Structures are given as structure tokens and as C-alpha cells.
Amino acid sequence: VREKLKFHNKHLGLLCYYASSVVAKQEECAELNNSTWQEYRQYRANLQVQYLLLTRRNPDCAQKFEWESLTKETSLFNLFSPTKVIIHGYSALGSRPSWVKDLSQALLRAQDVNVVVVDWVYGASFAYNLVVENYKEVAVQISVLINEMQKYGCKLETFHFIGMSLGAHVAGFVGTLFEGKIGRITGLDPAGPMFKGADTYDRLDPSDAQFVDAIHTDSDYFGISIPVGHVDFFLNGGKDQTGCARSRFPTMYGYVICDHMRALHVYQSSLNGSCPLVGVPCQSYEEFLKGRCLDCDAFKGKCPQIGELDQKKLLYEEKNGKQKAWILDPLNVSPLDKSAEVEVILRTENTGSQQRLRLQTDSTVYRTVVAHPIALCQINTIIIKNTGARFYRQSEIHVRSVCVSEFPSARREEPLCVNNIHIRRGTPWSHDFVQVCDIF
Ligand SMILES: [Ca+2]
């Protein structure tokens, strides 16, 4: 009998080996396409759209995905989980968008979802005007896939499309094809060229999904300058981003798309929720900097947060995160003979942040927004410098009062105020605050 068992074991062992080698072969990681100019000329006609699936079970190794996958046991697609669909944008050089993997992994860390990446590199490369001709065809192909997925029980409201640049308008058109019944579309700096003047049918707009949000970071160049969603975040005014200086980038291309790609990086980093990025409704960035937009009443008092996972919360949730900007509210000066300039610096032990403020002869009350990485109760010192104009000697400025308040105006903390200050040219004025943060 022992001999017989041994024999069977050997057989079993062999069978197992065979089976695992089959699985290993199927589990080769799928990759996004890379398009060369030659291939582009060859394949442009049929776009070669492919789909890659990433889940918490395969965050590093994409599986090819098509509707037939839903019938296969080897597919890791979970019919009971929501689905994030990532759509890349234009690729000038035909290279595969390398950021897709990082974004997928950030989404998977945040939520247990299916991540489906739409690869349309063949249609999205080289001549921008031809790429724009392709985007609707790509959307139609995606809609065919979603139609099939619906037959297996996937509900339209469980889909969240995330489109970068031109991909945002692809997502928008998929939304149009489903008459706005898709759950959510997030546009990451939705493309501007050839779309700003376009009809809402042709570009991303709030009617494309139950909820549409967009992050704008390069609205004066590659991005669109008009709002396209229910909530539009214009980062730092939406045009130019900190750190996107010419000198930092070895290539002109890297420099040119730095502002544009910031939307993606900000969205991705917001998904872990460690640094809440809050938007404040305002007519313009200039108005915002002048401190004229102080509340989020338009959102029932709760400022919307980038990367919010629950779209309902994006509109109405009370946020718990620390505020990130303090407002000088107000700086009240005596009338001036000539326009002048002061620099306001808020300091802690380790960091400082500053804001220049132009003072005019026709105004005595000023507001400005000062971004600062820590809580108001941790600010140690306020410094004001009389920086003055270069071509004439700016005289002493008398400040009746200067206050620093929490912003947006949740007003949980009392403003910090100092009265009756004289700021001489060449001698910065400073005041130390003695305060203790509440411990909750
Ligand atoms: Ca639309």
C-alpha cells in the first residue's frame, strides 16, 4: 500500500507542477503600449485600445482586461467592488504614460477597487490635432466595454473615471454616451487647446456624470481655463505652479508639462489623506489673494477637499484637517502720501512664510492670504518689513492694527492682533506671540 501511495503522490506532484506552470504563463504582467512613429503610421487606423486591470491582489502586475475576462475564473476583476477607470492623455513622443502605475497603486491603497487602465497610446501620440480626432472613437470603444460589463451586473454609478488632460474629455464623452449616469468623473487638468470654445457635448462638463470634479494647474497653456465640473479646483489660480521653473528641468518638454502634470501629482498625493487640500469658492485668484473670499457658504459652509473619496462629502462634509492658510484680516494703516510696499512674514521655530503687500494711497485697509504649513496657534512671530519702492525713499508707515485669522473662516481660533505699530524703512518690526495650542 505504501508503494501505491508513493506512486500517487508522484503523480499528484507532477499534476500540480503542470497546473502552476499554466497559471504562471497567464500571469505575465501586461504592459501599456509604447508607440513608435512607424507603428503609429501602421496602427493609427484601428487605435489598438487595450485595457489593463489592477486590483489589491495584483497591484504590481497588470492583467489584460476585456469583457470576456468577466467569464473567466482567472480574472481578478471583482464584480462587487467599484471600478476606477484611468484614461491618459496626449503623448507627444508616443511613450507610455509611466505615471499610470503610481496612480493605480495610490487608488488601491485608498480603496479596495478595480482599477482599469485605458491604453490608447496608439491613438494619443504625435500630432495633437489628429489625436483630438481620435478621442471620441476611444470613448465609443470604452462604452462598448462598459455596456458588456453592465450585463454582468456592474452598475454605472459605481464607475469613477479619472482622465488626465485629453483623457478627461474622453471620459466626458463616455459620460455623454451614458447620458450622465456614470457615478463620477475627475478631470486632471482637462485639456484646453481645441476644447475651450467647444460645445459641452464635445468636452467634459457637469452633465457627463452624477458628479464631475476637476483640478486645474495649467489653465493658461495645456489646461482648460473654464470650469468644467460641479467642483473645479484652480490650484494657485490654476495657471502656474510652485517649483515649475525653467532651470529645474533638463529638457524643454519637462519644463513645458510641469504645471500640467501637477494636477496628477496633487490628486495622487491627496489620496492618502494626510494633507487635506481645501478649495475656497472665489470669482478669481486676485480676489482670493485680496482676502475677499473667506468662507465656503456656497458649499453649505464646508470647503471641498481635493481627492475626497466620497463625492457627497466633497460637497458637504465637515473637514477635520488643519487649515493651511492664514489671512491677514485686516492690516489697517494710516493714509499714505505715496504707494508703498510691506512684506509680512509669519514665523515658527523652523519655517517662515511671507507675502508682499502693495499699499495704495486711496485705501487704508488691506487683506491678504498667507499660506503656511502649520496651525495658527503655532505661529511664534509676525514680522513686517517696510520694503518700499526702489526709486524714492518710502517713509515710515503707521499701522493702526494688524490681525491674523484662521482661514477659511471656521473661526475656531481667535485672531491674533497687534495695535499701533510704526514700521521704519530698513528696520523690520516684529512681535512675538505667546500662545498654546488647544489639545483635543
Ligand atoms: Ca460633455
Residues 6+ apart with CB under 8 A from 157: 181, 182, 183, 210
Same domain, 332 and 187: no
Residues 6+ apart with CB under 8 A from 32: 52, 96, 97, 100, 117, 119, 121
**Distance in Å, CA 389 to ligand 1 centroid:** 49
Same domain, 244 and 362: no
Residue 371 lies in a domain: yes
Burial 336-360 (b: 16+ CB within 10 A, else e): beeebbbebbbbeeeeebebebebe
Could you list the residue range(s) of the whole structural domain that residue 381 is in? Answer: 325-432
Residue 245 lies in a domain: yes
Same domain, 166 and 69: yes
Residue 348 lies in a domain: yes
**Distance in Å, CA 174 to ligand 1 centroid:** 9
Residue 313 lies in a domain: no
Annotation marks residue 165 as catalytic: yes
Residue 51 lies in a domain: yes
**Which carries the bigger pLDDT value, residue 190 or residue 19?**
190
Annotation marks residue 260 as catalytic: yes
Q: Phi, psi (5° rounding) for residue 399?
A: -105, 120
Same domain, 266 and 386: no
**Which carries the bigger pLDDT value, residue 114 or residue 252?**
114
**Distance in Å, CA 212 to ligand 1 centroid:** 10
Instruction: List the one residue out of 402, 408, 400, 404 whose CA is nearest residue 379.
Output: 404
In this prediction, residue 40 carries a pLDDT of 64
Mean pLDDT of 433-439: 73
Q: Is the peptide bond before 330 cis (omega within 30 degrees of 0)?
A: yes
CB atoms within 10 A of CB 16: 10
State how far the Cα of 336 lies from the Cα of 352, in Å rounded to an integer. Answer: 28
- The region of weakest confidence among 47-51, 280-284, 390-394 is 390-394
254-293 pLDDT tens trace: 567 888 889 999 999 899 877 778 888 888 888 888 878 8
Residue 415 belongs to domain with CATH number = 2.60.60.20
Instruction: Give the orientation angle of helix 99-110 with respect to helix 252-270, to 10 degrees.
Output: 10
**Distance in Å, CA 63 to ligand 1 centroid:** 30
Residue 147 belongs to domain with CATH number = 3.40.50.1820
CB 367 within 8 A of CB 357: no
In one letter, which amino acid is 109?
A: R
Number of domains in the chain: 2
User: What is the band of 251 on the pLDDT scale with cuts at 50, 70, 90?
Assistant: low
Mean pLDDT of 166-175: 96
At residue 285's C-alpha, the angle toward residues 279 and 289, to 5°, is: 90
In this prediction, residue 173 carries a pLDDT of 96
Which of these is catalytic: 104, 165, 219, 405?
165
127-153 pLDDT tens trace: 777 777 788 999 999 999 999 999 999
**Where in 194-278 does DSSP place strands (E)?**
211-216, 231-234
Annotation marks residue 189 as catalytic: yes
State how far the Cα of 84 lies from the Cα of 103, in Å rounded to an integer. Answer: 11
**Distance in Å, CA 207 to ligand 1 centroid:** 6
Structural domain ending residue among the three candidates 272, 293, 314: 272
CB 57 within 8 A of CB 115: no
Same domain, 261 and 329: no
Q: Could you tell me the end-to-end alpha-carbon distance of the chain, in angstroms, rounded to an integer?
A: 72
Residue 399 lies in a domain: yes
pLDDT at 415 exceeding the cut of 90: no
Residue 316 lies in a domain: no
221-238 pLDDT tens trace: 888 988 899 888 988 888
CB atoms within 10 A of CB 332: 15
- The region of weakest confidence among 42-56, 72-86, 163-177, 329-343 is 329-343
**Distance in Å, CA 203 to ligand 1 centroid:** 5
In this prediction, residue 393 carries a pLDDT of 62
In this prediction, residue 306 carries a pLDDT of 87
Same domain, 396 and 257: no
Residue 63 lies in a domain: yes
Structural domain ending residue among the three candidates 272, 291, 308: 272
pLDDT at 349 exceeding the cut of 90: no
**Distance in Å, CA 337 to ligand 1 centroid:** 53
Burial of 383 (C-beta count, 10 Å sphere; 0-12/13-18/19+): middle
**Distance in Å, CA 170 to ligand 1 centroid:** 9
Tell me whether strands 159-164 and 184-188 are parallel, antiparallel or unpaired: parallel
Which of these is catalytic: 88, 160, 260, 372?
260
For the chain, how many residues are written? 440
**Distance in Å, CA 182 to ligand 1 centroid:** 12
User: What is the band of 158 on the pLDDT scale with cuts at 50, 70, 90?
Assistant: very high
Give the DSSP letter of residue 322: P
CB 47 within 8 A of CB 122: yes
Same domain, 338 and 238: no
**Distance in Å, CA 193 to ligand 1 centroid:** 16
